[in-house]
Amino acid sequence: HVLAGRHVVTITPTASGKTLCYNGPVLSHILQDHSTRALYLFPTKALAQDQLAELLTLTARLEEHASIGAHTYDGDTPQDARRAVRGRAHLVLTNPDMLHSGILPHHPRWAKLFENLRYVVIDELHAYRGVFGSHLANILRRLKRVCAHYGSAPVFICSSATIANPKELAEGLTGEAVELVARNGAPRGEKIFVLVNPPVVNPQLGIRRSYVAETRRVATMFLKRRLQVIVFAQSRLLTEVLTTYLKDACRRLPGGAEAIRGYRGGYLPVRRRDIERGLRAGTVSGVVSTSALELGIDIGALDVCVMAGYPGTVAATWQRAGRAGRRNTRSAAIMVASSGPIDQFIVQHPDYFFEGSPEHALINPDNLQILLDHIKCAAFELPFAPDEQFGQEDLQAVLGLLREEGFVDLVDDAWHWMHESYPADAVSLRSVSSDNFVVVDVSDETTIIGEVDFSAATSTLFEQAIYLVEGKQYQVDRLEFDRRKAYVRPVDSDYYTDAITYTKVTVLEEFDRLHALRDAPGAVADLEDADAAAGCHGEVHVVSRVVGFKKIKFYTNENVGSGELDLPEQEMHTTAYWLQLSRGLVDSLPFAGDDRRDGIVGLGFALRQVAQLLLMCDRHDIGLAIHGEESRQVAMRASTSPPTAEEEEPTIFVYDNYPGGIGFSEPLFGLHYRLLADTRALIERCPCESGCPACVGPVGETGPRAKAVALALLLGLA
């Protein structure tokens, strides 16, 4: 396909040799035509550096035929080396961020690349979902404009791990018809896959043994047998907690606690490279990681993968499992289930995981907020012609709006950039803000020990927070929000901290509404209003704020203290599905006010879990907020936005957790009736008495009547 000039996407499991699918034809074409250039895109700098080493091995073998220059180009590339890369590199390995801000806006300097650009390789295609993928689709639109300006039309070669819609995703990203190659002939070593469900320790409350403790036990069992283990955790905090536990458990083993490392975003690059080398060399026997090691960085032949909780998607689970046994060796993958509804569903219905389809990777390149940013960038790079298109929106109308704001103007029948700003700097591809916070250790001398992205800073770096780096504890003495700095000092603490976040949602516009009619047996019979609730879809304003924190003791999980915080709000406009309960239904329930509130909270907990299963999305893709009469005082304390008329009736919001929305709330609205039915089935079939983490949430958080109230509400909606 590639040699015939067709765009292609290959989909194969981890470590199946898919890099040869693009290196082979690209290098072959360079040998035939030495002027040929290729651009390789990787989602991270680390992955580009890792793949460069493999590529240099290949090009060295071809030295007798031709000298082929392969170089990375990223934020770490020295200034004096950048000129050489622009002029001499046949293969430029970079990432979307650098293409967006460091290459496309300076395309005249890259004329030699763009004039001869024959191939664009997009590795780890499955990583480009949600906001990141939507940004990349627009960056590739800009790339194609620049290529056309220089007279080239590159072939796109995409490579993906297993997802449900690789062809659709590749076509959505590139804007081209793509050929799918999905047959895998690579040899694989035997893999044993085990689902572990921790035992029930309190049948009445449905409480199981801590999955964190069970993960520690399972991982330690393998480490004691001198096997190399990778443990995946669901959050940065849990990564640090498990690193601490495993270091403690392995102090008397060969290599001691130093052979156990943590790995996550926010570590400095030198620390991450050291951990990767240790894994390849075998001096690191165990590593606890977030999804940061899910991508294809070479970390050698690991023996065992242990997952602390279900990763959230079938695709991510297989991707993580593939990190063990990558070199045709026998390996094991163990998923330790938490008490949550989705984890319990997976262990009780293993066919959903082993036989079901992986998830769809969704993008929305025409999200107005994202599209507008990239139209500005594209106008900066090259003038827009009057008949040109950029996405599905009316480009001429958008450019007209930008003219009113002083960004562009119509000169000589073309739209030219007129503003003094550099638009690429204002766009963050991976988060709401591009500003990272640096963490500074002030104990001996001022030393930067890590970075935290903007969205996580208020929940991680508040004053008195315990900041963990590979199990080492630091306490935050001071957070300078405006300067994006947190100052910390080492401490010896027996607890860690967890932020308490309040989220408030305000309806901006309702797009559509469905009513839940009470026509089922057992429905509340004495309501005058036949509409017990409404399912709605629309645009919302979400305000989140960290209002306090808890001190959680290591090992026992006891709450040993708390504190209040006053930190800046974070806000976004997005889309949401919401369930608006009628005041008549809620008031008719034979429960006290506090019990009703607990039941609504429990219903929201269950709705979100079922929504995640129905949408086949990651848990981070959707957010939950619950509003009602009982929450108004909290809302007023936690947000500058006053309650709206929509909050007169208790409302459960499930919103797209990305600015502008990314396409989950609308299909969830379409599944309104199934969502209610499946949530009712989840709660009814749960064997607990009063509610548990597998249905409406832990009794300690939602109260002893939450399950009964949630069921009564659902019966009233039937």
pLDDT of 559-601, one tens digit each? Answer: 999 999 999 998 999 999 999 998 888 888 888 888 999 999 9
**Residue predicted with more confidence, 197 or 314:** 197
CA dist 299 and 281 (Å) reads 9
Report pLDDT for 274: 93
CA dist 709 and 129 (Å) reads 37
- The predicted-structure confidence for 683-698, as pLDDT tens digits, reads as follows 999 988 888 888 998 7
CA dist 246 and 242 (Å) reads 6
How large is the average pLDDT for residues 479-491? Answer: 94
CA dihedral 465, 466, 467, 472 (to 10 degrees): 170
Report pLDDT for 14: 61
How large is the average pLDDT for residues 86-103? Answer: 94
Report pLDDT for 659: 81
CA dist 532 and 528 (Å) reads 10
Report pLDDT for 12: 73
- Residue 620 above 90 pLDDT? no
CA dist 313 and 616 (Å) reads 7
Report pLDDT for 269: 84
**From the CA atom positions of the chain, what is the Rg in Å?**
27
Return the SS3 of 362.
coil
Domains assigned to the chain? 8-181 (3.40.50.300), 191-354 (3.40.50.300), 368-426 (1.10.10), 437-493 (no CATH), 499-717 (no CATH)
The DSSP call for residue 324 is B
CA dist 41 and 93 (Å) reads 6
- Specify whether the CB–CB gap between 29 and 110 falls below 8 A: no
Q: Where are the alpha helices (DSSP H) in 225-340?
A: 236-249, 269-281, 314-321
Q: What percent of the chain has pLDDT over 70?
A: 92
The DSSP call for residue 102 is I
Question: CB within 8 A of 671, min separation 6: which ones?
Answer: 614
CA dist 253 and 224 (Å) reads 7
- Residue 328 above 80 pLDDT? no
pLDDT confidence tier of residue 522, bands split at 50, 70 and 90: very low
| 358 bridge partner residues | none
- Residue 304 above 60 pLDDT? yes
Return the SS3 of 661.
coil
| 39 bridge partner residues | 92, 120
CA atoms within 13 A on the CB side of 622: 31
CA dist 136 and 381 (Å) reads 16
CA dist 272 and 393 (Å) reads 42
Q: Where are the alpha helices (DSSP H) in 313-394?
A: 314-321, 341-348, 350-354, 368-381
CA dist 195 and 337 (Å) reads 7
Least confident window among 104-108, 264-268, 398-402, 463-467: 264-268
pLDDT confidence tier of residue 504, bands split at 50, 70 and 90: very high
Per-range mean pLDDT, top range of 15-24, 201-210, 513-522, 682-691: 682-691
Report pLDDT for 29: 92
CA dist 391 and 414 (Å) reads 18
Which CB contacts under 8 angstroms, 24+ apart, belong to 344-350? Answer: 344/197, 344/694, 345/613, 346/195, 346/310, 347/195, 347/196, 347/197, 350/195
- Specify whether the CB–CB gap between 86 and 112 falls below 8 A: yes
Return the SS3 of 447.
strand
Residue 486 vs residues 222, 265, 475, 519, 565: alpha-carbon distances, Å? 38, 17, 10, 57, 15
Q: Where are the alpha helices (DSSP H) in 536-649?
A: 583-588, 593-615, 632-638
Q: What percent of the chain has pLDDT over 90?
A: 59
For residue 527, the one-letter residue type is L
pLDDT confidence tier of residue 643, bands split at 50, 70 and 90: very low
**Residue predicted with more confidence, 186 or 371:** 371
Tokens of 404: 């009113």
Report pLDDT for 326: 64
| Number of C-beta neighbours around residue 712 at 10 A | 22
- Residue 396 above 50 pLDDT? yes
For residue 305, the one-letter residue type is C
Question: CB within 8 A of 78, min separation 6: which ones?
Answer: none
- Residue 212 above 90 pLDDT? yes
CA-based torsion, 552, 554, 557, 560: positive or negative: negative
Return the SS3 of 2.
coil
- Residue 543 above 90 pLDDT? yes
CA dist 89 and 113 (Å) reads 8
Report pLDDT for 214: 97
Tally of residues, the chain: 718
Least confident window among 158-167, 423-432, 437-446: 423-432
Average pLDDT of the chain? Answer: 88
How large is the average pLDDT for residues 73-79? Answer: 86
Report pLDDT for 638: 33
The DSSP call for residue 642 is P
- The predicted-structure confidence for 170-180, as pLDDT tens digits, reads as follows 999 999 999 99
Report pLDDT for 664: 87
CA dist 702 and 562 (Å) reads 19
Q: Which of 363, 356, 311, 357 is nearest to 334 (CA)?
A: 311
For residue 193, the one-letter residue type is F
- Residue 636 above 60 pLDDT? no
- Residue 323 above 90 pLDDT? no
Return the SS3 of 29.
helix
pLDDT confidence tier of residue 524, bands split at 50, 70 and 90: very low
Distance of CA 68 to the CA centre of its chain: 36
CA dist 675 and 670 (Å) reads 9
CA dist 247 and 258 (Å) reads 7
How large is the average pLDDT for residues 496-512? Answer: 94
For residue 320, the one-letter residue type is R
Question: CB within 8 A of 685, min separation 6: which ones?
Answer: none
Sole residue written with tokens 């909606």? 717
CA dist 6 and 2 (Å) reads 5
- DSSP strand pairing (437-441 vs 447-452): antiparallel
- Specify whether the CB–CB gap between 579 and 671 falls below 8 A: no
Q: Which of 455, 518, 538 is nearest to 676 (CA)?
A: 518
**Residue predicted with more confidence, 539 or 1:** 539
pLDDT confidence tier of residue 525, bands split at 50, 70 and 90: very low
Per-range mean pLDDT, top range of 5-14, 401-410, 527-536: 401-410
How large is the average pLDDT for residues 21-40? Answer: 92
pLDDT confidence tier of residue 703, bands split at 50, 70 and 90: confident
Report pLDDT for 223: 97
- Angle between helix axes 130-149 and 166-174 (nearest 10 degrees) is 50
pLDDT confidence tier of residue 628, bands split at 50, 70 and 90: low
How large is the average pLDDT for residues 447-454? Answer: 90
| 38 bridge partner residues | 91, 119
How large is the average pLDDT for residues 651-662? Answer: 89
pLDDT confidence tier of residue 357, bands split at 50, 70 and 90: confident
Report pLDDT for 526: 42
How large is the average pLDDT for residues 431-437? Answer: 67
- Angle between helix axes 593-615 and 341-348 (nearest 10 degrees) is 50
Beta strands in 12-144 (DSSP E): 37-41, 70-72, 91-94, 117-122
- Residue 718 above 70 pLDDT? no
- Residue 635 above 50 pLDDT? no
pLDDT confidence tier of residue 372, bands split at 50, 70 and 90: very high
Q: Which of 236, 227, 244 is nearest to 284 (CA)?
A: 227
Element (H or E) spanning 551, and its range? strand 531-553
Question: CB within 8 A of 29, min separation 6: which ones?
Answer: 3, 36, 118, 119
Report pLDDT for 227: 95
Least confident window among 4-18, 237-251, 595-609, 623-637: 623-637
| pTM recorded for the entire structure | 0.82
